[in-house]
Amino acid sequence: MSCNNLDKALETKLDALCRIIKTHFKVAVAYSGGVDSAFLAFIVNRELGQENAIALMADTSLVPQFEIDIAIKTAETMGLNFKDVKVNPFAKEFVENPPDRCYHCKKIIFTELINAASQVGFDILADGSNADDTKEYRPGFKALAELEIPSPLMQVGLTKAEIRTLSRHFDLPTADIVSSTCLATRIPYYTEIDTAKLKAVEKSEAVLRELGFENFRVRYHGDIARIEVQPEQMDKIMEYRETIIIEFKKIGFIYVTVDLVGYRSGSMDEALKENGDEH
């Protein structure tokens, strides 16, 4: 593959990634349509050929429908061998929403993806975690380790920024998309998760998206919606204040608040750090 215009360090990581992939005859990728998994699926497809590569997407109520639709369209655009796998993650351990909720969720989802991969003749399921993911609280990694799921991007030390650079290099449609996480991350730990709460978050975030906001979250606190946006977009919140209030109240929130700290990934984990409950 051509690596023109890539710096030497990045070219070395890409070569290492390709070598890892080529040690397998067939590889399935846990695909979400995001930057990392789409890039990994592309490289696997490029190195092994479409008949030996497949992108498996867990279709759950934890992901907004518009993201699922975009992920499917992206897979088609990239020419990926694609399969949608219906998964119900609502086991008791997940619903109770403990600090290691992500572990239980990942265990359920990846077990289903492994089974789906096996059914179509794939013995290896790879995950798209990158080197930056080791810097955050990610209990889901325990599930990946238990299920012996490799994370090739992490193995070769590729960061999110580097994956975006490589995605631009290969003209992938995901190069500059905004990162997202499952809807359960909007609900405080120990608050039970149900479809009504997830739907309230999905609908409220759709309101902000339609108003043109990017990189934001709506955190669910019962009657209270806590909006996180980039600090530079807080003036825009006030510009659309009345619309946001009206639409959020229609969804069922009584109080609509704005977090003055602004958007940051994993803000629900801050309570764990304060209470020393992170593990």
Sign of CA dihedral 21, 23, 25, 30: negative
- All domains of the chain in start order, with CATH: 8-169 (3.40.50.620), 183-275 (3.30.70)
**pLDDT at 133 (0 to 100):** 87
According to the model, what pLDDT value does residue 279 have? 47
Residue-wise pLDDT tens digits, 171-212 = 999 999 988 889 999 999 999 999 999 999 999 999 999 999
3-state secondary structure of 256: strand
Q: How, if at all, do strands 217-221 and 82-86 pair?
A: unpaired
Binning pLDDT at 50, 70 and 90, where does residue 4 land? low
pLDDT tens profile 201-252:
999 999 999 999 999 999 999 999 999 999 999 999 999 999 999 999 999 9
pTM, 2 dp: 0.90
- Residue at token pair 């998760």: 193
